[in-house]
Amino acid sequence: MGVNPQDVRGSRTGVFIGVSDSESDEFWTTDPSKVNGYGLTGCCRAMFPNRISYTFDFSGPSYAIDTACSSSMFALQQAVNAMRTGQCDAAIVGGVNLCLKPTCSLQFHRLNMLSPSGMCKAFDASGM
């Protein structure tokens, strides 16, 4: 099931992507001989929603949202608000947090920002 991408092409669909961290640019630009310019458009956080909008020719709002740990939830809120106010008829909402280096998680751990079990319990009664 799902939605046929051809059916929504050119529609008033908004794209809202919550993005807290992405170390993908460092991964793709480690070897200067392989830098081709596409890493900029493919890895820049601001471009994440815009690539989706461009690919499907969407005419609704399209932006990345960075509010740290609440980025995806805030993206959902912005999508609902955009539909309620008539900025778009439908919305695609997503979230990404890509930590490729262990030092990123280690810093969160050292600041006691992660659960002691190392598990995310956002919707659990025992969540932090």
3-state per-residue secondary structure call for 82-110: HHHCCCCCEEEEEEEEECCCHHHHHHHHH
Instruction: List pLDDT tens digits, range 4-54.
Output: 989 999 999 999 999 986 666 666 677 888 777 776 666 777 888 999 999
Look at residue 122 and tell me if it is in a domain: no
Instruction: Assign residue 25 the CATH number of its domain.
Output: 3.40.47.10
Q: Which token pair is 114?
A: 């992660």
Q: How far apart are CA 94 and CA 51, in angstroms?
A: 13
Q: What is the structure's pLDDT at 128? A: 53
Residue 42 lies in a domain: yes
More confident residue, 125 or 39: 125
In a domain, 74, yes or no: yes
Q: How many domains does the chain have?
A: 1
Any domain includes 105? no
Judge whether 112 lies within some domain: no
41 located within any domain: yes
pLDDT tens for each residue of 55-82: 999 999 999 999 988 899 999 999 999 9
Report d(CA 66, CA 20) in Å as an integer.
5
